[in-house]
Amino acid sequence: MVDMLKSAIAGRVSRNSHAFVVHELGKAIVNGELKVGTLLPGDAELAERFSVSRTVLREAMKTLAAKGLVFARARIGTRVTERTAWNFFDADVLTWHLEYGLDSDFLTHLSEMRLAFEPYAARLAARHATSEDIARMYEHAEAMRTASSTEAVALADLALHMAVLDASRNPFMYSVGNLIEAALVTSFQLSSPFGDPARQRGAALAHRAIVEAIEAGDPDAAAKATERVIIEGLDRVAKTMG
């Protein structure tokens, strides 16, 4: 689940032919280059454009259709779907939004979704977390404090939030982790606490407060600490964006 975060922060990306076609077409759809309702060129033209076989192209189209970005009809062709059909829980769709450019609306929408489920996940974790879960969360909080790079801070941050979702013992919670990862990509691209020791320490302590509340078996405190982390992160990035 950390691929989005690593690619965005470290600039690393690796794609085979299928993934390359999916990425290029998906990005063009999300950024509006291929507008909603647009009829895509035929298989032969696209296969030539991307220098891939028709088999690879057709598989790429199936992948894009599964993400809700296109739909195909016999004897008509493949069109770009309405945005309401797009799967915004999909890691690739979120990544393409991030590559297109960061904006306050995107970040606000992500934060609103996080506020809708993460505090409750923390409540559940306060009821269900084992000593092993809690030890792992403390390790991630400490890793945030001692991290020596932007990527290390971000990965420790993500790992802690995912550990909380895991400790909720609700599999649906863990499955929406892509939203947290996208939010952290946005946040760390604009305003990483790394490089400012006081901010980095403060961020680590704020996350540690979540773990302490979970360890104490206090659902209300765990939820409030989680809300505080999300809101403070949103406010910090909003100030950066002006």
**For the segment 5-44, what is each residue's pLDDT rounded down to a tens digit?**
556 555 555 468 999 999 999 999 999 999 999 999 999 9
Domain residue limits, the chain:
3-85, 102-241
* pLDDT tens-digit readout, 203-213: 999 999 999 99
CATH fold for the domain made of 102-241: Four Helix Bundle (Hemerythrin (Met), subunit A) (1.20.120)
Task: With 0.75 as the threshold, say if the pTM is over it.
Answer: yes
* 238 CB neighbour count, 10 Å cutoff: 15
* Alpha carbons 200 and 183: distance in angstroms, whole number: 18
CATH fold for the domain made of 3-85: Arc Repressor Mutant, subunit A (1.10.10)
